[in-house]
């Protein structure tokens, strides 16, 4: 397991805050109320460790296959339904949505190999990520990947806690399946828009792993 580079500044600042709080607690509290000093240490340590775990990148055997579409994120499948895409395709698409809680790995991976033909950031609200309107009203970043099988749209969506979406791709770039393409800080969601009729290999409420679980097949 490694720590994602997006976490270095946040973890460094948090470690300094942890040290300052506990130094002050040791000098001003521990001599008079030692049990309170212990509680402060335990709580702040737990918060620091949780923050570090949020930016973890576990070592995994990644799944690859030309006829496979791989889950772009860790989390739970919360939506499988047909919708009308107003952003890019302007027609009906099959939407599969994955909700990422703060406890999930928040690195995002390419669901298939291909070329980036669309890349657009949208400002928006910060509704909870499972809200039905979060796909169209929240802050989000959409990309469309194209290969010999067709095109899919992948949408990083900010949640109530997520305030920063990171996307590393550019239009015209060739990408490799299951390679990293972005990161979302704290609770969030990823939508995948597939052609109608695509065989979906996941079920509602199923826990999935980014770069590992097969989302669908062509």
Helix axes 34-54, 8-28, angle to 10 degrees: 180
pLDDT at 158: 84
How does DSSP classify residue 6?
G
pLDDT at 186: 72
Report pTM: 0.87
pLDDT at 164: 78
pLDDT at 161: 62
pLDDT at 54: 86
pLDDT at 136: 63
- Phi then psi for residue 102, to 5 deg, are -60, -20
Phi-psi category of residue 90: left, alpha or beta, with phi > 0 → left and psi -120 to 50 → alpha = left
CA-wise closest residue to 187 among 59, 76, 111: 76
Catalytic positions: 188
- Phi then psi for residue 166, to 5 deg, are -110, 130
pLDDT tens for the 218 residues of the chain, in order: 899 999 899 999 999 999 999 999 999 998 889 999 999 999 999 999 998 998 999 999 999 999 999 999 999 999 999 999 999 999 999 999 999 988 899 999 999 999 999 999 998 765 655 555 556 667 899 999 999 999 999 999 987 665 678 999 999 999 999 999 999 887 689 999 999 999 999 999 999 999 999 999 99
Q: Distance between CA 155 and CA 141 in Å, rounded?
A: 6
Range 45-51, long-range pairs (CB < 8 A, 24+ positions)? 45/18, 47/14, 47/18, 48/11, 48/14, 48/15, 48/18, 51/7, 51/10, 51/11, 51/14
CA-wise closest residue to 214 among 71, 4, 107: 71
């Amino acid at each position: 397991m490694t720590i994602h580079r997006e976490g270095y500044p946040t973890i460094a600042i948090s470690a300094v805050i942890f040290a300052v709080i506990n130094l002050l607690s040791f000098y001003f509290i521990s001599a008079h109320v030692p049990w309170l000093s212990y509680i402060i240490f335990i709580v702040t340590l737990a918060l620091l460790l949780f923050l570090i775990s949020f930016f973890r990148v576990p070592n995994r055997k990644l799944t690859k296959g030309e006829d496979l579409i791989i889950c772009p994120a860790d989390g739970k499948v919360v939506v499988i339904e047909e919708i009308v895409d107003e952003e890019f395709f302007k027609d009906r698409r099959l939407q599969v949505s994955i909700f990422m809680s703060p406890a999930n790995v928040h690195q995002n991976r390419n669901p298939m190999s291909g070329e980036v033909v669309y890349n657009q950031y949208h400002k928006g609200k910060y509704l909870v990520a499972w809200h039905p309107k979060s796909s169209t009203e929240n802050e989000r970043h959409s990309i469309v990947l194209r290969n010999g099988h067709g095109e899919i749209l992948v949408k990083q969506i900010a949640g109530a806690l997520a305030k920063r979406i990171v996307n590393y791709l550019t239009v015209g770039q060739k990408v490799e399946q299951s390679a990293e393409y972005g990161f979302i800080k704290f609770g969030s969601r990823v939508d995948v828009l597939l052609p109608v009729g695509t065989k979906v290999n996941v079920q509602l409420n199923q826990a999935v792993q980014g770069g590992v679980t097969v989302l669908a097949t062509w």
